[in-house]
Every structure is written in structure tokens, then in C-alpha cells.
Structure 1
Amino acid sequence: MIPTASQVSVDEIRSAATGSDRYPASLHAPLMSSPEPPPYITEQAFPYEAEYGGQFGKTENQAHRQILDEVEIRELLIDHVGHRCCWGSRPARTWKIHSVEDCNVYVGTLETFVEEREVITETEPYRGGNIDGKEKGTELGVWELDLKSDFPVLFTPHKESRAKVPHSESVEKCPDCAGRGDIFCAECNADQDPGFHKENQMSPCAACYGRGLIAHKDGSDTLCVKCNGKGKIPCATCGSRGLVKCPKCQGSGSLLTRKIAVVRWDTHGARKLNATSGAASVPDDVFHRAKGIQLCNTQAYHCTPAFFADSFFLNQFSSEVISERPPIPPSARVICERHTISVIPVTRVTMVHRGQTFSFYIIGFSREVYLKDYYPSRFCWGLCPCLDWLKL
């Protein structure tokens, strides 16, 4: 079997988390959920065999190499070239395979699943009725709330939930209108002292300019229908009441205030690659989506470096991954961690013909072909992107 770090059961995770003085036990019942492995890892058992202190690129690579014959290599390259516009298949079919090199890549991850809680205050106009205030019970702290019904599956990338804090409601006088329900009209009472307002304030009619009559080009006048000949009109905002309904309390004069617990579950990840110089030119995202062999998968409240009895390199690599543990926000608490190490088989193939050479990579068990820049048989002279644009 694989010499990995000791596997920790879900019960042990719950026990470790519950024993912490930072968490109430009710938070950890959902830890019974079984997490899924990362998408780029296949659930395969691998008989790891290596001498103690084996060096990267030697014993480990020999153990994880994928065997490809010449026919398979050419078929993979021909298929890759066939999906590229204006690429010829002749080099893939006829050029000599000069070398086949193993350039395996090790991928280490540490996922930290955390729960973060904060309290915000919400208000709404109070229109009467019962409230859930302190007289009905003690207001609970944010970490005392039992939210196990909202708890997601472990290592969910992100989830947010909101819940009302019991017994946190209260009714307060609206500060904007001092409990009156109305505020002064900013149009016709803009300069009044606080607590005073004037009613029946009138403004000049904009249609007749305060004359009450509409002048015409022939010199005649007609009665202004907008102000009915008075020359003044009531305030359009408040109807000359001098007051308008308070927008904050909607005229009720009181506000219902309650506390809301905002809970977020997030998975913070640290990822590290270890590639030989032969595979250093391949972008990291190519390895992240490749399928490989899982060498280690440990889950615990707080993960420690894995231990491989026969590989100093893997032990050191695991320690480096753990050392890059992401920082946790002060308002968050760690629920569980998962540490994985996998190896992605990578084969570098070099082909030659009359002094010309080019290389490509066959990556993972899905055998994805990657060509960085140069392929000797292209006929579009770099015009393919322009042709694609014209098709649009």
C-alpha cells in the first residue's frame, strides 16, 4: 500500500474540532459529509516503491513513468495536429523520434475549509406587532448560533448564509424625523430652524412668470390655466404642507432594528508544483487540469506534513506545501484541512529531420499533447487569428 501519512477518520476530525475552545460542538455535526477529491486527481491506488533518499528525477520518475511506444506517440501528435488550422501532419508521420524523456511533475495542495461569522444590523419601518426582544430571552453570541442545517459539504468553494440572531430585535425612534414621521420639505422650508416649518408656502408660477396671464404675440393676454390666474402655485413636493413623509421610517416614526448573522464558508487553497527542467516551459494550468496518480490524501483538523518512509524528496515537498498554508481572516475559524500529493506523468518527445528538431509533451493519463511554440509544418504564416476574426 502507499506509505502515506496516517489517515484520519471523520470521527477523529469531529473530536478534534469539538475539543477546541473556539467552537461549539453543534457546528461540527455536518463533518459526517464525505468530501470529494480534487477534480484533477484520479482515485487510484499506487504501489510506491523507492529507496530511502531517492532523488527527484530518478527512482520516483521510474516508478511513475507511462510507457508509450512509437505508434502511440505518433497517433497522439497526429490527432493534436489535426485540430489545428493549417498544420501539416507530415512531420508527425515521418520525422524520426530522437528521444523520449520522462519529466514527471508533482502537485501538492493544502485546502483549508473555514467558517467566518460577522453580525450586521438591519432596520425597517416599525408598523406595530410583537417583537423578539431581550425580554423573551438572552441574546445569543454569533458563535453560539446552531447553523448545522445550513452547513455545506466540506471543501465547498464558497457558500453564504444569513440568520436572524434570536432575541435581538428592538424598536427605536427614527433619528431622521425624531419620531414625528415627517421631515421638513427641502423645497419650500429649506431655511427654517429645526423644529419649525411654515405651511401654505407658494412659489411663482413658471408658466406665466407670476403674472397670472399668458402673453401672446398679437399683444393679447389670456388667463394662465396652470395657476388659475393667481400667479403662484403650491409647492410641487409637499403640496405646501411644509412637511413630507420621512423616507427612512415611511411615516411610522419608529424603526425595528434586528441583528443578522452573516456566515460564510470558504475553501482557502495553497498549491505547489515541482517540475524538472524538461517540463519547466509548460504552463502550470496544463498540469492542474491533467489526470495523475494520487500518492497522499490526508484529512484532519490541522494537517501536518505527510511521511513517506522511502522518499526524502516527497517528505520535503509535503513540508513545503504545508508551510504555504494560506492566512485565515481573524473572524474565521478552521473547520478542516485536506492535504494531497499527486504525480502527473509527463513525457517529452523530441523529433528530428535533416538537422531540424522540435519537442512536444504528452501530459497525464488523459495524454494531452502540448506544443509550446514551434511546429515545423505551418502554412498560415500567423494569419489564422485574422481569419478567425473575419469569420465572426
Structure 2
Amino acid sequence: PEAQDRPPSTGVVDLSFEAESPVAPPAELLERLPSYDWLFQGGGQQIFFPPSEAPGRALEQRCWSSFLEHSRVPLVTEEVAREALLSFVSSKCCYGSTVAGDLIIQGLKQQTLPLCSYYRLETFSESRISEWTFQPFTNQSVDGPQRGTSPRLWDIKVQVPPMFQEDTRKFQVPHSSLVKECHKCHGRGRYKCSGCHGAGMVRCPSCSGAKRKAKQSRRCQMCSGSGRRRCSTCSGRGSKTCTTCKGEKKLLHFIQLVIMWKNSLFEFVSEHRLNCPRELLAKAKGESLFKDENTAVYPIVDFPLREISLASQRGIAEHSAALASRARVLQQRQTIELIPLTEVHYWYRGQTYVYYIYGTDHRVYVVDYPERYCCGCTII
């Protein structure tokens, strides 16, 4: 018998291997499976639409004045400003530290209310696709359609990874296995070597089959005067082990479920009056003002900075439109952080310069540093 009996199982098998190819062999080799006829209609792979989910909790009213009153963004002093610049230039190979040590700070201009705000929306979703795949059959147990109908893909229960941690896993769909003769070698386990066309020998590369080298009377030492050498591709056997079935002659075909957990990200930084690029502010640490996490979050509608409210509405709408038909949303999280931003004016050797300190981790953005040794540095 091609398979060993075992009790019916409703679980799924976690696949720790990578099949040589996800492409199915000719469809006529495989029987139709109940609930999976679409796999035989030329597609080969199918994305399954998730079932609709119930809406999240009711919309909540928020008192933003309370949030803002309890936020504490520390001010930047001259000492902090100088230390931040010294730390920055020490991390750059072509920035001198003399300026940072000798400069005279003339003024600190800190971003006042409304503070620069950073909005972030994360949507953690799960998508599922299905495809035929195969592996060499080594007389392992076969969970085929005779043991029951294969479950629909969204009915298969699997362990979800921690929220907002991306992962991809592959599973064998229950009752979908079929054992068939290898379509590559036609059940022989081996096939003719392409290097020697099955002869096991090839023309000697040294004498080109002449048995003697040109203009020499001695016989070729590489082939001992035979004009031929053993094929290095098949070691002289004339055939090679089938790479598809690994010499097992048969293949175990089954439907593979591929589950992808992905984290979609939407970011927005509010306008500010200082000349520091907004894309840098998004990378800095900020003072946490608000965090909302649930199966589905609602747009922020009444934040004091209207552009943050609009960004929240736009981000949620974009994620909803992008994921609604191809993934199941498992969790959403939206946060607002206040990003402190300070413009530092300083004097050095008769000229005035400026740099910026942003974030609670005191990152530095330099506009024009007077002590640089090369060009083209990334100043972030």
C-alpha cells in the first residue's frame, strides 16, 4: 500500500521545509478535492477573502485639554544643547569637535504650542493564500480526501503570533494529500544526464577527442589517449538522481496554506514653524500623549490640531480600503506623540550658525556646520 492508516485528524501540519516549486504538475494527474475545485481551473494559487468581522467598540468622546495639561515636555538648556551637538559630531567621521566645544550659544528658540505632533497608525492583519505543492513521498502517512472533506481555509485554526509582530507560516491543509508518480522522471527516480546525454563519458577537453595534443606525438595524459573522460556531472553513471522526487519515484501532493501576518503603517507629522524636515521628526522619540488600541479604532475627530484629526481619518480610511477585500484585521493601534523641537543659534569665528535638537532623545539636525572635512555626509 502507498499509505499507512492513521486516525482521521482535524489539525494542520506545520511545514518546516521548502518545496522545490509551488507549481502543480499537470492537472490530469490529480483528482478533484471537494471544496477546492478552483485549484484545477488554471489559477494554481488563490487568495481567500476573509469573513466579515463585527465592528469594534462604540465611539468614545475624549477630553484633549486633559491630555495636553498632563503632558510634560522638558525644555532644552544650553548645557543640553552643547552636549547633544558634541554627541552628534563624535558619531560623524568628517565632523570636527572643535566647533562644538568652542562655540558660543546665542539663543534657543523652542517650538511653542501647538507642539509638533506625530500621529502613527498600525494595522495588524492576517491574509491567507492556498496553492498546490509537493514533496518526495517517503512512505509517510497520507491524509487524503478519503479521510474527510478539507476545511475551508479561514476555518483552519492556527496560533496567531504576538500582535504587531510580522510572520509568515505554511501549513498542510487536512485531507488534501495525494500520492502520484513523479512527473519529472516519470517514476524512475533518475533521468538522463544532460552533460553526457546518458553516455557517461564526454570528449576530453584537453585534446578535444583527438587522443593526442596538437603538434605532439605523445598521447594525451588527461584521457590516457582514449579521447574521452568520465562525465563530471553524473560521475560517469549516465543518469542523475531526480531533483524533484529525490530518487523516491513518487511525490506527495497537497494543498499548502500560506498565512501572512503583516503590520501596515501610516505616519504623519504636523506642520511646525521651524526649519527642520518633518521626515526626521518621525524617527525621533516623543512624549506619549495618546494611545488607542483595539480590534478596530475610530478616527480622531476633535484633536486641537485639525491636521492630526484629518490624518487619523485618512489613515484609517486608507488601511480599510487596502485590507478589506484581502485580509482580516486583527488589531489596530493609533498613537499621538509630542515631538520637542528647539532651534539653536550659535556664534563661531565671527559668523552665526544654526542647528536643531528634536525628540526626547535629543537628536541633532545640522544646517551648515563650519568644521567639515568632506562632502556628501548624511546629516541626521
Task: Report the residue type matching 1:124 in the other structure.
Answer: Q
Q: Matched residues in 2 for 1:383 and 1:207: separation?
A: 57
2:149 pairs with 119, 130, 138, which one? Answer: 138
Give the equivalent residue in structure 2 for 1:284. 279
SS at match of 1:49: helix
Give the equivalent residue in structure 2 for 1:303. 297
Matched, 1:271 2:267: yes
Deviations 1:44-78 (A, max 9, x none): xx98439xxxxxxxxx999968564xxx6211122
2:81 pairs with 77, 81, 84, which one? Answer: 77
Give the equivalent residue in structure 2 for 1:22. 51
Give the equivalent residue in structure 2 for 1:348. 343
| TM-score normalised according to structure 1 size | 0.61
Select the structure of larger CA radius of gyration.
1
Q: Tell me by how many angstroms 1:115 deviates.
A: 0.6
Note the residue ranges of structure 2 that are not aligned, 5 or more in a row.
1-48, 55-61, 90-96
Task: Report the residue type matching 2:183 in the other structure.
Answer: P
Give the equivalent residue in structure 2 for 1:153. 162
Deviates more, 1:317-326 or 1:266-275: 317-326
Contact 2:291 2:336 in 1 (8 A): yes
Q: Tell me by how many angstroms 1:369 deviates.
A: 5.4
SS at match of 2:82: helix
Q: Matched residues in 1 for 2:366 and 2:118: separation?
A: 21
SS at match of 2:176: coil
Give the equivalent residue in structure 1 for 2:373. 383
Q: Tell me by how many angstroms 1:312 deviates.
A: 5.2
1:206–1:100 Cα change, 3 Å: closer
Deviations 1:14-70 (A, max 9, x none): xxxxxx970699xxxxxxxxxxxxxxxxxxxx98439xxxxxxxxx999968564xx
Q: Tell me by how many angstroms 1:119 deviates.
A: 2.3
1:136–1:77 Cα change, 3 Å: same
Give the equivalent residue in structure 1 for 2:254. 258
Task: Report the residue type matching 2:65 in the other structure.
Answer: E
* Cα-Cα RMSD: 4.7
1:351–1:142 Cα change, 3 Å: same
1:210–1:385 Cα change, 3 Å: closer
SS at match of 2:312: helix
Contact 2:185 2:249 in 1 (8 A): yes
Give the equivalent residue in structure 1 for 2:40. none
1:87 pairs with 99, 104, 111, which one? Answer: 99
1:119–1:131 Cα change, 3 Å: same
SS at match of 1:160: strand
Q: Tell me by how many angstroms 1:365 deviates.
A: 3.7
Q: Tell me by how many angstroms 1:271 deviates.
A: 0.4
Q: Matched residues in 2 for 1:79 and 1:239: separation?
A: 68
SS at match of 1:267: strand
1:369–1:234 Cα change, 3 Å: closer
Q: Tell me by how many angstroms 1:245 deviates.
A: 4.7
Contact 1:189 1:242 in 2 (8 A): yes
Deviations 1:184-230 (A, max 9, x none): 4546667xxxxxxxxx998888899989999x97x8x99x9978x9x
Q: Tell me by how many angstroms 1:270 deviates.
A: 0.5
Give the equivalent residue in structure 2 for 1:248. 244
Q: Matched residues in 1 for 2:72 and 2:335: separation?
A: 20
| Paired residue total | 310
Matched, 1:102 2:96: no
SS at match of 2:319: coil
Q: Matched residues in 2 for 1:360 and 1:249: separation?
A: 64
Give the equivalent residue in structure 2 for 1:328. 323
1:253–1:99 Cα change, 3 Å: closer
Q: Tell me by how many angstroms 1:324 deviates.
A: 4.2
Contact 1:61 1:102 in 2 (8 A): no
Q: Matched residues in 2 for 1:234 and 1:355: separation?
A: 82
1:307–1:178 Cα change, 3 Å: same
Contact 1:204 1:232 in 2 (8 A): yes
Q: Percent identity?
A: 22
Matches within 5 A, 1:144-223: 144-148=155-159, 151-156=160-165, 158-184=166-192, 186=194
Q: Tell me by how many angstroms 1:154 deviates.
A: 1.2
SS at match of 2:77: helix
Contact 1:293 1:344 in 2 (8 A): no
Contact 1:134 1:168 in 2 (8 A): yes
| TM-score normalised according to structure 2 size | 0.63
Q: Matched residues in 2 for 1:139 and 1:357: separation?
A: 74
Task: Report the residue type matching 1:134 in the other structure.
Answer: P
